[in-house]
Amino acid sequence: MTDNMKNQRLNQLDIDFVRSCFPTFEQPLAAKTAFFENAGGSYVAGPVLDRLMHFYLVNKVQPYGASEILNTAGEQMDAGRTTMADLLGIATTDLTLGASTTQNFNTLAIACEGFVSKQSEVIVTNQDHEANIGAWERLCKRTEAKLVVWEINPETAELELDSFRALLSTNTAIVCMTHSSNIIGTINPVEQVIELCRANNTRVAIDGVSFAPHQWPDIPTLAPDAYCFSTYKTYGTHMGVMFTSEDFRTQLTPQSHYFNERYANKLLDTTGPDHASIAALAGLGEYFSASHSHHFGVSDVTLYEKALQISALMHAHETELCKHLLDGIVDLPITILGRNNTDGREANIALTSTKYTSAELSAHLAKHNIAAGNGDFYATRLLKSAGINDTEDGVLRISFAHYNNIDDVNRVIAALKEIH
């Protein structure tokens, strides 16, 4: 970094720097592939890989103990937990690390059995990933609570706040919704939902899996009761992150070993996730810190603030690329699910063609070394509600990450024009 760069804020993402932080791009297969399967799992940042390999090589033992090898392993895991909490601006006691977000939602739903009763109502949406529907549907079956579905507008595939207001009642115990859809990409009005629920003494659980890769979640400002996302979609190891507020946890039934109930961060830990994956999360903090220093210069702001600031550059970069894609395919015989512009949405595009199946589109892109899958992406209910009955073929999904570049997008545009 030059002296000028140390004192100068960059006003856009340095894509060459970003890609240099991901060793995957040095591999021949990744080097020739335009990767747009990011909503299914992102590439992993170099510092995360370094810490993962170090743990497996040096400290793959039962952590914590008197001997140095055990104690060092525990210290690395503690660093991973602390780093993730610091990135989110929350206390480590509010953080649960699980095997996946699906696992975390299942655990959370079971833990809610203590306050969800036959007289209760639970609101879910038909826009969500199945992980944030099925867990609550099963809860209602066990408790005989009423499952209430906040349905999309079938014309737009979006959730409308007026419809939610009509569903919210004095019996609503908890509302479970996605921050942004993994299909249509629209950013939902979670702030307004949380505000309405606060006044109604209703809990709110937010699925941020599709949102977090594009905009780092600002949990302290949002102030939900629960917020979940996946680190393997945010450049880390395969884990699920779950925030729960201290106040909410007083209502939850512990899901840990009874002797661990005194530890807040173990209260909802049912599986004991992979030790190395936890330790490697410290590398995510290194990546955000290095990116922040490169773009903003040396700074003593918190890791939470660094994550939000660098994420804003990432989001702006993705939005610009997404607009380029939408402009480039506007004349093709395709239909975009949701908004056909970048206003109020993430860089996650789902489309269908009037000439080809989604599987044929995906296969054609693959011939050009472009990775973009097709299917329902665990949002079957959304696709059916939006009029797509063949959910196995589903949609072609082109999902961006901040390390995508303009060449990647031009290749997609050219390939879609070629087949049409």
Residue-wise pLDDT tens digits, 93-111: 999 999 999 999 999 999 9
The pLDDT mean for the chain works out to 95
Range in 152-156, 242-246, 264-268, 382-386 with the lowest mean pLDDT: 264-268
Percent of the chain with pLDDT over 90: 92
* Residue 8's pLDDT band (cuts 50, 70, 90): low
Q: For residue 31, which amino acid is it?
A: A
Distance, CA of 125 to chain centre: 17
d(CA 33, CA 302): 35
Tell me: pLDDT of 272 over 90.
no
| Confidence band of 243 (pLDDT split at 50, 70, 90) | very high
Query: Can you give the pTM of this predicted structure?
Result: 0.96
Mean pLDDT of 43-50: 98
Q: Is 243 left (phi over 0), alpha (psi -120 to 50) or beta?
A: beta
Tell which CATH classification among 3.40.640.10, 3.30.200.20, 1.10.1510.10, 3.40.50.10310 matches the domain 68-283: 3.40.640.10
* pLDDT for position 5: 41
User: How deeply is 75 buried, as exposed, middle or buried, from its count of CB atoms within 10 A (0-12, 13-18, 19+)?
Assistant: middle
Cα–Cα dist 351/242, whole Å:
31
Angstrom distance (rounded) from CA 224 to CA 217:
11
How far is 5 from 371, CA to CA, in rounded Å?
35
Q: How confident is the model at residue 60 (pLDDT cuts 50, 70, 90)?
A: confident
Q: Are the C-beta atoms of 393 and 374 separated by less than 8 Å?
A: yes
User: For residues 43 and 24, is the Cβ–Cβ distance under 8 A?
Assistant: yes
269 has a pLDDT exceeding 90: no
pLDDT value at residue 3: 43
Closest CA to 46 of 78, 20, 80: 20
d(CA 209, CA 234): 9
Is the pLDDT confidence value at 238 over 70? yes
Q: Tell which residue, 295, 261, 280, has the closest CA to residue 8.
A: 295
- Please provide the DSSP assignment of 2-30 as one string: -HHHHTS--SS--HHHHHHT-GGGGSHHH
Give domain limits for the chain. 68-283
pLDDT recorded at residue 265: 84
* DSSP 8-class letter at 75: H
pLDDT tens digits for range 184-236: 999 999 999 999 999 999 999 999 999 999 999 999 999 999 999 999 999 99
In the structure, what pLDDT confidence band is assigned to residue 264 with cuts at 50, 70 and 90? confident
Of 382, 397, 321, 384, which Cα lies nearest the Cα of 352? 397
> Mean of the pLDDT values across residues 252-266?
89
Residue pLDDT, tens place only, 310-367: 999 999 999 999 999 999 999 999 999 999 999 999 999 999 999 999 999 999 999 9
Laid out side by side, the sheet with 240-244 consists of: 95-98, 240-244, 226-230, 203-207, 172-178, 121-125, 146-150
Side chain identity at 339, as an amino acid letter?
Answer: R
Encode pLDDT of 378-408 as tens digits.
999 999 999 999 999 999 999 999 999 999 9
User: How confident is the model over 114-167, as pLDDT tens digits?
Assistant: 999 999 999 999 999 999 999 999 999 999 999 999 999 999 999 999 999 999
Looking at the predicted structure, is the pLDDT value of residue 2 above 70? no
In this prediction, residue 4 carries a pLDDT of 42
Distance CA 17, CA 136 (A): 42
